Amino acid sequence: MHYPILIKQGSKYYHYLYSWRCMLVKVRFMWLNLSLLVDAVRVAATLLALGVLSIEDLRTRELSARIVHAYLAVTTALFIVSFITGSGSFTLLVVYAAFSLLVSAGLFTSLYKLGLVGDGDVYVAIALGLALFYPSIYRFTLPLEGMLPPSLVAIFYAALTSMFLMLVNAVRVLAKYRGVLSALSTKYKIILPFVSRPVKLREYLNGVLKHHFPVQEFTVSGTEVLVRYRLLARIDEDQASVLRKLVDQGVLSEETYIWVSPGIPFIFHLFLGVLLLLVLGDVPLVHLLMKLFSRP
């Protein structure tokens, strides 16, 4: 039988063990602080990068490659550090990381294939998935806790803000351009007000509208002008020269209404989504999922 060895308080062995215990506590405290610091840098880098890129997205619909690559590099490095510091169990880290990247990268890659976003938007979405993949980020939100991947919640909020602005656009179009809408088929009466608005051909050709592209493609067949709608992919930039030629030939009038879309500045909406994440956490989305999947 083995008996525990009792070390008298005040002996040199007691002080030796006590000093080691204090050192281990300090190391653990520093390790926890390192994890907190890594999360803080991730949130700060995301706000800074998305804040700057959203301004560029609104102004020019172009993203600075230097900022995009820097954001991706920083988040990749912090992603690796997260596994070293061990913010959670290795299995949980892998599961959350896989789900976060599957949603962020998969969704924006699909949008890229449809022609709705550029490759820069895809890289930013991947960086967001790397930066906000683990629930430890929620300690920087007002609710202070959460369970869903933060990147997924931010993208959900971004989608809501985008749909809200589309709804506002639809209300404005319905209130101001009922006469123009009456000439459309039922399908396009429903769809076009959400994603575009009518403008006179003169305004479009004079370059008054920045970052707008037509959702209609005009072609001439004999004496007829055929119109085809393309809502998912941007029409070739040469369409402006085609329209100018049709006006010069007297086929179309400058007073003719065409439907144009400003496109969706996705990075701006992602920035809004991250801000809403910091304020609301995942509480609204969790309540929504609970209502959807709870048994009556």
For residue 140, pLDDT beyond 90: yes
Distance, in Å, from the CA atom of 206 to the CA atom of 232, rounded to the nearest integer, reads: 25
| pLDDT reported for residue 232 | 66
| Distance (Å, whole) CA 92 – CA 98 | 10
In this predicted model, which residue has the larger pLDDT, 10 or 239?
Answer: 239
Exposure on the CB side of residue 97, measured as CA atoms within 13 A: 18
Distance CA 263, CA 237 (A): 14
pLDDT of 147 higher than 60 = yes
Boundaries of every domain in the chain: 16-149
Highest mean pLDDT: which range of 28-32, 100-104, 215-219: 100-104
Judged by average pLDDT, the poorest of 7-16, 154-163, 196-205 is: 7-16
Q: What is the pLDDT of residue 169?
A: 93
For residue 237, name the pLDDT band (cuts at 50, 70, 90): low
Query: Is the model's pLDDT at 155 over the cut of 50?
Result: yes
Higher pLDDT, 59 or 157: 157
Helices 12-60 and 266-280, axial angle in degrees (round to 10): 140
Compute the distance between CA of residue 91 and CA of residue 239 in angstroms, rounded to an integer.
52
Q: Are 276 and 63 in contact (CB under 8 A)?
A: no
**What is the reported pLDDT for 3?**
44
Q: What is the pLDDT of residue 10?
A: 52
For residue 16, what pLDDT is reported? 52
* Cα atoms found within 13 Å of the Cα of residue 176, Cβ hemisphere only: 10
Q: What is the pLDDT of residue 114?
A: 82
Top pLDDT among 77 and 24 is at 77
For range 260-276, the mean pLDDT: 91
Residues 102-126: what's their mean pLDDT? 91
pLDDT bracket for residue 296 (50, 70, 90) = low
User: What is residue 233's predicted lDDT score, i.e. its pLDDT?
Assistant: 57
Supply the pLDDT for residue 6: 47
Return the HEC string of 175-228. HHCHHHHCCCCHHHHHHHHHHCEEEEHHHHHCCCCCCCEECEEEEEECCEEEEE
pLDDT tens profile 5-52: 444 555 555 455 545 555 544 444 444 567 888 899 999 999 999 999
Instruction: Quote the pLDDT of residue 5.
Output: 46
Look up residue 177 and give its amino acid: Y
CA gap 206, 87 in Å, rounded: 56
